[in-house]
Amino acid sequence: MKGKYQKIILVCLIIVIAVYISYTFPREYDVAFQGIKYRLKDTLYQEKVEVRIKGWYTKKVFLGNRFKGEIYLGDKKFLNVDLKLNKYNSDILVGYREEIGEFRMYGKIYLGNNLDKVAILLFEPVNSDYSKSYWSSKDGLMISAPAENRVEAISLSKELIKSGIIKYDDS
């Protein structure tokens, strides 16, 4: 009888380990979306932008998820991106820009759990000085994808950014 329980416990342990490995095993992604770049409080400003996410995504059980790879926002290409995502599945977007030969902080990125959605708060430089970048919750620039228009972009941003830091104009 004791051997029967040991076998059941061993089978359960093997199943738990298999599920854990399956869940946390890094997966390669190369996804592209049509998104919208828009400015809060400026209902007339919207611009289509292609967002591409290419790299490895690792889900963690007790720690934040992690993405390592490349992110393309329109004509801007960020290499060596290493996102250590927090409980909101977000991090500061920092990546190497080949055309300028340096790492640059570009904004705060929020990702869907399967890299199927993205919202980015875009930092804006002060007098072309990127070391003094800022973002405003009143009139900051944002990118949301996938989205076909401003209304969809705002809706997606609300879904991904749950911290309540943004003052949306809902238009």
Proportion of the chain above pLDDT 70, given as a percent: 91
Most confident listed range (7-16, 56-65, 84-93): 84-93
Write the CB contacts of 6 (distance below 8 Å, at least 6 apart in sequence). Answer: none
Contact between 139 and 153 (Cβ < 8 Å) = no
119 to 23, 37, 144: CA distances (angstroms) = 24, 10, 4
| Domain range list for the chain | 27-160
pLDDT tens digits for range 95-104: 888 777 778 8
Kindly state the DSSP code that residue 13 receives in the 8-state scheme.
H
> Nearest CA to 35 among 156, 151, 157, 146?
146
pLDDT tens digits for range 113-126: 888 999 999 998 88
pLDDT tens digits for range 145-155: 999 999 999 99
Number of Cβ within 10 Å of residue 165's Cβ equals 11
Whether residue 24 is predicted with pLDDT greater than 80 in this model: the reply is: no
Q: Would the pTM of this model clear 0.75, i.e. be above it?
A: yes
